[in-house]
Amino acid sequence: MTTSPNPPLAQPEASYDGVLPDGSRLHRHSDVRRDNTGYDRQSASLRWDHAIGGNALVKTVLTASNIDQDTAGSSTISRDDYYNNPTINYTPISYRKVQALRLSSAYEQEDGARLVSVTPYVRYDSMDLLANWALSYDPTVYNTQNKSFGVLAKVRQDFAPMRARVIGGVDIDYSPGGRDENVIAVGTEGSGYTKRYTSYVVGDKVFDYDASFRAISPYLHGELSPLDVLRLTAGLRYDHMSYQYDNNLSDGVANSGGRFFYRPADTDVSYQHWSPKLGATYDLGAQQNVFAAYNHAFRAPSEGQLFRPSSAGSAANLVRNTTDLKPVKVNSYELGYRGQQGRDLSYSLSAYRMEKRDDILSYKDPVTNATQSVNAGRTLHRGAEAGVNARLMPALELGVSYGYAIHTYEEWQLNATTNYNGKEMETAPRQIGNTRLTYAPAGDKGWRATAEWVHLGSYWLDQANTQKYNGHDLLNLRGNAPLAKQWSMFASLANVTDRRYAESASLSSGNDVYAPGMPRTLYLGLEYKN
């Protein structure tokens, strides 16, 4: 058993509109990070480039990392604690431990108009997780292990007529993996949505399965210019993906301590899909062009979404059809304009429309409290983006980007009483903006200082669109300074004004909850380049 003593929780107010009960607003963090949210990471990377001759090169990269993280930094707290005690942590027992290894060796040969590239790779990942987001409805600890063996291969050929280019290739991946998962009994303090999880005891094994993923994806891409001012592109990709799932425990319903789990029987699940794309760019002259693009894509459900349904308080409320999840299909359209005036000014403006069918979303049943992955019938995403980069002085550059978008559920009716058609998607702000002012003396390329303003607009906290998070604005500073020929120092000061903001916000049992963002934080580092 593990325990972590903390003071009792304050009780939240009954409602929230962005203003405290006395009419004031608070926008200051304490100068202490959230409790029990440490993070340790060790990583290393080795790269070896070897020229073979005949314009051939082999690039071999080996990376390894080890992560030990207390994951409660992303967990939410009540509105009252968000304003008055933002360092508190309701889930101090949660953690994530990851070991990862990557090895790839890319062979590339470019000879005039032809490029040949072949990249075989191997990967290994292991993760131990006690998820903070599941403690209230599905507390478990689990380990996943996955290996990957694959190759990325492509050939590019250029042709003089109409400046044509053809790229053909194939991506192949075989990833055997598995999951071991045990239910846990948690010790708590408090009650309701401010309950604090202080300890746990590992109980029965409730999942033990192997799941092997296979994918082969050939593709073809072509470009040509029938006119000097017109560039056309087209592509087609075929994906064949499959899972081979083997359950190592008894199939069907399992009961552990009054909580019920459903384990699918051994099965194979496969998906096949064609994804086309089209594009065109028209040169207006004077370093200006307009472009249009259509892209179709698809995404298969993940292993966890298919074979690990959520638990429930009774067998009758168990979700048992997750292996029937459909892949997400996406159609997107974009129209835009880009321009440039010498080296001192560049700008862009684009509008897009994206439609997703069978979007895979997480839904929490308000009656059974069971959370499951479901296919929404159709979601719609449309918006516009603009950007400007301008050199104000030889050493001073201004960059501004802004996006406005509306994300809605167009067809999603779960039952006779739950209908989200026409509602905006939760946690999807309409406005996102970024402004950067960078000072970089031309005489010394090692010196650089940047001031950045980040704007995040308001967004709904729930799928029914009943409450909103008001958004936030942050000021960040970054800089680089040379120390010696091969050494440099970099620094960043995040959240300069120490503003109170939420990394994420949502509803829990009808109450607004927040994951507090970092207070004013200084990062310092040294870099060595040989």
Across 492-520, average pLDDT = 88
Give me the pLDDT at residue 222, please.
97
41 belongs to a structural domain: no
Residue 370 pLDDT class (50, 70, 90 cuts)? low
Using only the alpha carbons of the chain, give its radius of gyration: 26
**Hey, which residues does 148 pair with through a beta bridge?**
123
Least confident stretch, 18-22, 307-311, 405-409: 18-22
**CA 311 – CA 254 distance, rounded (Å):** 10
- Residue 405 domain-assigned? yes
Distance of CA 520 to the CA centre of its chain: 24
Task: Report whether pLDDT(160) > 50.
Answer: yes
Of 316, 334, 444, nearest to 381 (Cα)? 334
Residue ranges in 54-196 assigned as alpha helix (H): 79-84
Mean pLDDT, range 108-127, rounded to an integer: 94
Query: Is position 192 within any domain?
Result: no
Q: Is 163 left (phi over 0), alpha (psi -120 to 50) or beta?
A: left
- Residue 91's SS3 state is coil
Is the model's pLDDT at 142 over the cut of 50? yes
Statement: residue 124 has pLDDT above 50: yes
Sign of CA dihedral 70, 73, 75, 79: positive
Question: What is the structure's pLDDT at 194?
Answer: 86
User: d(Cα 467, Cα 215) in Å, to the nearest integer?
Assistant: 42
Calculate the CA 155 to chain-centre distance.
31
Q: Residue range 496-504: average pLDDT?
A: 91
Q: Once rounded to an integer, what is the mean pLDDT over residues 285-292?
A: 94
Q: Give, as one character, the DSSP assignment of residue 35.
A: T
Cβ atoms of 498 and 26 within 8 Å: the answer is no
pLDDT by residue (tens digit) across 445-496? Answer: 678 899 999 999 999 998 889 999 999 999 999 998 888 777 888 899 999 9
Inform me whether the pLDDT recorded for 437 exceeds 90: yes
Question: Does residue 85 lie within any of the structural domains?
Answer: no
Q: Given this model, what pLDDT does residue 2 score?
A: 33
Contacts 24+ apart (CB under 8 A), 318-325: 318/253, 318/260, 318/261, 318/262, 318/370, 319/262, 319/370, 319/372, 320/262, 320/264, 322/264, 322/372, 322/373, 323/245, 323/264, 323/267, 323/269, 325/301, 325/360, 325/373, 325/374, 325/375
**Residues above pLDDT 70, as percent of the chain:** 92
Residue 307 — very low, low, confident or very high, per pLDDT cuts 50/70/90? Answer: very high
- The residues near 181 (Cβ < 8 Å, ≥ 6 apart) are 140, 141, 142, 143, 205, 206, 207, 208, 308
Q: Is 15 helix (H, G, I), strand (E, B) or coil?
A: coil
Question: Tokens representing 219?
Answer: 């593709």
Provide long-range contacts, Cβ within 8 A and 24+ apart, for 238-241.
238/272, 238/273, 238/274, 238/275, 239/215, 239/271, 239/272, 239/273, 239/275, 239/298, 239/300, 240/215, 240/216, 240/270, 240/271, 240/272, 241/213, 241/214, 241/215, 241/270, 241/271, 241/272, 241/300
pLDDT at 13: 28
Residue 334 lies in a domain: no
Residue 52: strand, helix, or coil: strand
What is each CA distance from 270 to 239, 325, 356, in whole angstroms? Answer: 10, 11, 20
CB-based burial label for 272 (10 Å; 0-12, 13-18, 19+): exposed
Domain containing 489: what range? 354-382+392-530
Reported confidence tier of residue 342, pLDDT bands at 50, 70, 90: confident
> Quick check: pTM over 0.85?
no
Tell me what pLDDT residue 77 has.
87
Task: Say whether pLDDT at 310 is over 50.
Answer: yes
Cβ atoms of residues 114 and 155 within 8 Å: yes
Which of the two residues, 185 and 361, has the higher pLDDT score? 185
Q: Output the six-digit token pair for 280.
A: 């065109």
Q: Please give the pLDDT value at position 252.
A: 93
* Of the candidate ranges 34-38, 85-89, 255-259, 475-479, the one whose mean pLDDT is the lowest: 34-38
Q: Predicted confidence band at 317 (pLDDT cuts at 50, 70, 90)? A: confident
| Structural contact between residues 360 and 374, judged by C-beta atoms closer than 8 angstroms | yes
Is it the case that residue 285 has pLDDT exceeding 50? Answer: yes
Q: How many residues does the chain have?
A: 530
> Would you state the pLDDT for residue 26?
35
Question: Is the model more confident about 203 or about 112?
Answer: 203
Tell whether the model's pLDDT for residue 3 goes beyond 70. Answer: no
Answer whether residue 475 is part of any domain: yes
Provide the residue type at 263 as one letter: R
Instruction: Give backbone dihedrals phi and psi of 201, rounded to 5 degrees, phi first.
Output: -125, 130
Helices first, then strands: H and E counts in the chain: 2, 26
Q: Residue 257: which pLDDT band, with cuts at 50, 70 and 90?
A: confident
Q: Cα separation of 146 and 127, whole Å?
A: 9
Structure tokens at 213: 């993923």
The whole-number pLDDT of residue 14 equals 27
Using pLDDT thresholds of 50, 70 and 90, give the confidence band for residue 343: confident
The count of structural domains within the chain is 1
Q: Give the helix/strand (H/E) hosting 443.
A: none
What tens digit of pLDDT does each residue of 27-53 get?
333 334 677 777 788 999 999 999 987
In a domain, 361, yes or no: yes
Whether 52 and 68 have beta carbons less than 8 Å apart is answered as no
Enter the DSSP assignment of 304.
H
Which tokens go with 334? Answer: 């974009």
Q: Which of 171, 106, 180, 96 is nearest to 146 (CA)?
A: 180
Residue bearing the bigger pLDDT, 376 or 476: 476
- Residue 13 contacts residue 21 (beta carbons within 8 Å): yes
- Whether the pLDDT of residue 23 is over 60: the answer is no
* SS3 state at 280: strand
What is the C-alpha to C-alpha distance for residues 28 and 333, in angstroms, rounded to an integer? 42
Mean pLDDT of 366-376: 73
Instruction: Give whichever of 19-23, 187-191, 272-276 has the largest mean pLDDT.
Output: 272-276
126 has a pLDDT exceeding 90? yes
Instruction: Share the mean pLDDT of the chain.
Output: 87
Is the Cα torsion angle 220, 223, 226, 232 positive or negative in sign?
A: positive
Is residue 440 assigned to a domain?
yes
